[in-house]
A = this chain, B = another copy of it.
Amino acid sequence: MIIILKKGTPEIEINRTIQEITTTLPVKAEKVVGRHQVIIGMIGETSSLDPLLIQEVSPWIEQVLRVEKPFKRASREYRYGQESEVIVSTPNGDVKFGEAHPVVLIAGPCSVESEEMIVETAKRVKAAGAKFLRGGAYKPRTSPYSFQGHGESALGMLWAAREATGLGIITEVMDSTDVERVADVADILQVGARNMQNFSLLKKVGAQNKPVLLKRGISATINDWLMAAEYILVSGNPNVILCERGIRTFDRQYTRNTLDLSAVPVLRSLTHLPIMVDPSHGTGKSSFVPVMAKAAIAVGADSLMIEVHPNPAQALSDGPQSLTLEQFDRLSHELEGMCQVVDRVQPTLAILA
């Protein structure tokens, strides 16, 4: 349930209203500051509450509305239609994710293989316009006989790459016992597709203060996914970015997954959270990545995550879907035109042009 306040409601009255609501009703209440309105969001046993009675709490209340969706804090209704943004501070400065901001590029290898390779990759993708370095320390692999990531030592290598370039770091956390260790290094914690409904992990990343990148489960419906985001939000962490990375369908001969680009406008209509697209996992083949990356921008994605490796043929994991450093350079330049058409140019990209 949300309360929309009249324009110009004094701060003291907002606080009094929140105070009265939380002490008299079985709900938690929080202030949500939009571009045009201040809203009070209420989560809890709202189904039995009468909007008309709540309206009497303050003469500054304009309207009281129910959030009809099963996801509440994640829904666009909860912010009365306004998008949110996730601001991440990196050594190079704040990076903003959201539909009012330029498209953010994230690049890097599937796995962190050595300090040398990750630092080299970081420098090159930074030069090409990326704002974040991705790289797996802990790798979820279908087979126990596949490379499982270098673990804790890889976290150190990521830190070295961060120091060397100032790029933000995104890396996956797979186990609730690793959350703190990963959060010491990562600027954004990634929850992978296979763990999208690992609710213990969701609660744990929701209880720490680094932003969370939540990948879509391989057969998660849009509702499943937003409910997973809701787990993080209700645990106290408002900074969630959603990442589409392909779904499992009946045809898996030519692509690893089916990249569901219509998820982007669907999410836009349902949620205020920023949206990322990963065309590398989405297709599983490097030759399809560039056009799908362009299409992701065309369709409105706020950010792209792209796998890049200095030598894909020798990669310890996901080589076939990794671009070379040169291919990423070229793609990054090509994406500029696309960003211009949709009016979401990265200032730094523009400079490169």
Contacts and interface: CB of A to CB of B under 8 A. Distances in A.
A234 interface: yes
Nearest to A233: B144
A225 to B, nearest CB: 9
A139 to B, nearest CB: 9
A200 interface: yes
B261 A295 contact: yes
A267 to B, nearest CB: 9
A223 B252 CA distance: 11
Interface in A163-199: 174-178, 194-195, 197-199
Contact of A265 (B198, B264, B269, B288): B288
A117 B260 CA distance: 35
B299 A224 contact: no
A49 to B, nearest CB: 15
Contacts of A338: 298, 341
A218 B197 CA distance: 11
Contacts of A291: 264-265, 298-300
Contacts of A298: 291, 294-295, 297-298, 338
Contact of A262 (B141, B224, B269, B283): B283
Contacts of A177: 176-177, 200
A325 B259 CA distance: 30
A270 interface: yes
**Interface hub of A195, A219, A262 (most chain B Cβ within 10 A):** A262
B261 A288 contact: no
A294 B283 CA distance: 19
A352 interface: no
A213 to B, nearest CB: 18
A252 B254 contact: no
A314 interface: no
Given A194-B198, A195-B198, A294 B299 contact: yes
A269 B255 CA distance: 12
B262 A258 contact: yes
Nearest first, the 7 A-B pairs at minimum CB distance are: A219-B219, A175-B200, A298-B298, A194-B197, A295-B295, A295-B299, A295-B298
Given A261-B292, A265-B291, A337-B341, 15 more contacts: A141-B199, A144-B199, A144-B227, A144-B230, A144-B231, A195-B197, A198-B198, A222-B251, A223-B253, A247-B258, A254-B266, A255-B266, A262-B292, A295-B299, A341-B341
11 contacts: A140-B199, A141-B199, A144-B227, A148-B199, A175-B176, A175-B200, A218-B219, A219-B219, A247-B258, A254-B270, A258-B262
